[in-house]
Amino acid sequence: MTAITSPAPALEWQHVSLDLGEFALRDVSLRVDDGAWIAIVGATGAGKTLLLETAAGFLRPTSGRVVRGGIDVSGEPPERRGVAYAPQDDLLFPHLDVRRNLTFGAIACGGDVGRVAELAAHLGIAHLLDRRVAHISGGEAQRVALGRALLSGASLLLLDECTSALDEVTRAHIGEVLARERGERRLSIVQVTHDLTEAHRLADAVVEMERGHLREGVHHASSIRAHHAPGGARRVSG
Amino acid sequence: MLAALFSLTAFVAVLLTSGVFYSGLERVAALLGSPEARRSIGLSLATSTIATALATVFAVPTAYALTRWRVPGRGVIDVLLDLPIVLPPLVAGFCLLLVYAVLERVVGGVTGPFDLRFTREGIVLAQFTIAAPLAVRVLRATFADVPTRLELMSRSLGHNEAATFRRVSVPLARNGILAGIVLVWARSVAEFGPVLIFAGAVRGKTDVLPIAIFLSFSNGEIETGVAFSVLLIVLGAVALVAIRRLGGRLVVG
């Protein structure tokens, strides 16, 4: 096994497999160091979302382990994982307005509810706070889902195509907001994206998935951007 | 096709309005305004509301558990909970009496406040016997419509299962739950068989509306029976409109 430099990585998938027919994970091992930002890229159906959802507790692997902060959380319910997930389908609560969606996790996890107005302003959704989520656009919904994850106070973010509905300028701005939040709160981030440029610009490392496998080799962003923070993702060979 | 549609609709319409044509609206209103009728109506509304409230308290968690959890013996539970709905209602009432008969053999009799036979509380128990399984059946369909991914999202944001049930599942199922409550209430108001067998048909004591209709026709008081029937039809219509407005389903399963 590759030497592990950090005693307790933020997240580690250890030989995780899961078969849902059309989508599958096959013996995936990946480590996310504390404070690292890794991007996962790959074709549609490669298993990227499945991988995130095994970490979020939405899906349980048929074999292998999901380890969070050194603790095996494979059998733990989502609320005991300390993970904030912004999924591809947003999953905003339709019976709540934008403000209450944003603070939903903060109320339970001890996040900073008082930051809602400030964060909403950073994300460009301050004017939507009292609106029902049925009355906002797809791009706005994505930013609400991202804000909700950020406000929850969790130190690990799982982001699945969370800026796909945004225009390029807004996407770049949201990237900056994320980078600032990460720096201020030492967040670890695992981001699924189809945007390679964004992945290389923001992440410490880029890994590629193909048909349920991680492709050999990890593309460390440090080789692309020398001034990036150390650490990142390591493909762990068993 | 259209002929069948119109003739069936006309047949039901004639059926349901026959009472008004028979007695006239004024006479129906006058009969329903009598002290005896008002007491009977009050008893019906009170017992069916209490039975519905009790049924809801039991049915909401039961329906949620059966929809979301892997419950051991699920097949047996399904059949048991559905049986009171498909049984002849008289049998359900008879079974209630038999429970007391068995208890008398085992523990030497049930007396005092626990003996609900031929009492007003017995009316509630008889209505509850049908209302609770019906509520479970309706609410299961309602909870099945709540997306489980939203519940998982709530939990990933730190809310445990109980908090998620309270903050997400119930609010999202709210209209379905309300529609189910109205449906169960309407069924309880109209419950006859189990009430007749378990609580009896005692004028001035256990004569909820269906029992009052039965007693009126038995004693030749046709117009009183007609007036009560018209009232039940109106209550049923109001309930159906409410269910429709709430977007609830009448076909369950």
When the pLDDT of each residue in chain A is averaged and rounded to a whole number, the result is 87
**Which candidate in A93, A96, A107, A156 is best for mutational testing of the B interface (most B CBs within 10 A)?**
A93
Q: Which residue has the tokens 């068989």?
A: B193
Does the pLDDT of residue A184 top 60, yes or no? yes
pLDDT at A234: 60
> How far does CA A117 lie from the centroid of its chain?
22
pLDDT band at A237; cut points 50, 70, 90? very low
pLDDT band at A232; cut points 50, 70, 90? low
Does the pLDDT of residue A238 top 50, yes or no? no
pLDDT at B114: 84
pLDDT at B249: 56
Nearest to B159 among A56, A87, A108 (CB): A108
CA-nearest residue to A148 within chain B is B157
Condensed to tens digits (0 to 9), the pLDDT of residues B122-143 reads 999 999 999 999 999 999 999 9
pLDDT at A216: 65
pLDDT at A22: 84
- Write out residues in chain B with pLDDT < 70, as ranges: 248-253
The distance in angstroms from the start CA to the end CA of chain B is: 28
Strands A205-210 and A219-220: antiparallel
Condensed to tens digits (0 to 9), the pLDDT of residues A17-62 reads 999 988 899 999 999 999 999 999 999 999 999 999 999 999 999 9
The answer to whether the beta carbons of residues A234 and A207 sit under 8 Å apart is no
Range from A106-115, A120-129, B96-105, B236-245 carrying the lowest mean pLDDT: A106-115
Q: Which residue has the tokens 């399904």?
A: B78
pLDDT at A233: 60
Distance from CA of A90 to the nearest CA of B (A): 9
Percent of chain A with pLDDT over 90: 72
Condensed to tens digits (0 to 9), the pLDDT of residues B227-240 reads 999 999 999 999 99
| Tokens matching residue B37 | 């009728």
> How far does CA A168 lie from the centroid of its chain?
20
Condensed to tens digits (0 to 9), the pLDDT of residues A3-19 reads 444 458 999 999 999 99
The answer to whether the beta carbons of residues A212 and A47 sit under 8 Å apart is yes
d(CA B77, CA B62): 11
Task: Determine whether the interchain pair A79/B156 forms a contact, defined as Cβ–Cβ distance below 8 Å.
Answer: yes
Length of chain B: 253
d(CA B11, CA B8): 5
Using DSSP's 3-state secondary structure scheme, residue A85 falls into strand
Touching check for B172 and chain A: CB below 8 Å? yes
| Tokens matching residue B157 | 């944001």
If you write DSSP's letter for every residue of B9-21 in order, what string do you get?
HHHHHHHHHHHHH
d(CA A233, CA A93): 32
Predicted complex ipTM:
0.89
Task: Determine whether the interchain pair A79/B168 forms a contact, defined as Cβ–Cβ distance below 8 Å.
Answer: no
Burial of A146 (0-12, 13-18, 19+ CB in 10 A): buried
Residues of A with CB under 8 A from a CB of B: 56-58, 77-79, 81, 83-85, 87, 89, 91, 93-95, 104-105, 108-109, 148, 152
pLDDT band at A2; cut points 50, 70, 90? very low
pLDDT at A230: 44
pLDDT at B94: 94
d(CA B161, CA B40): 44
Touching check for B160 and chain A: CB below 8 Å? yes
pLDDT at A8: 83
* Domain architecture of chain B: domains with CATH: 25-245 (1.10.3720.10)
d(CA A40, CA A31): 12
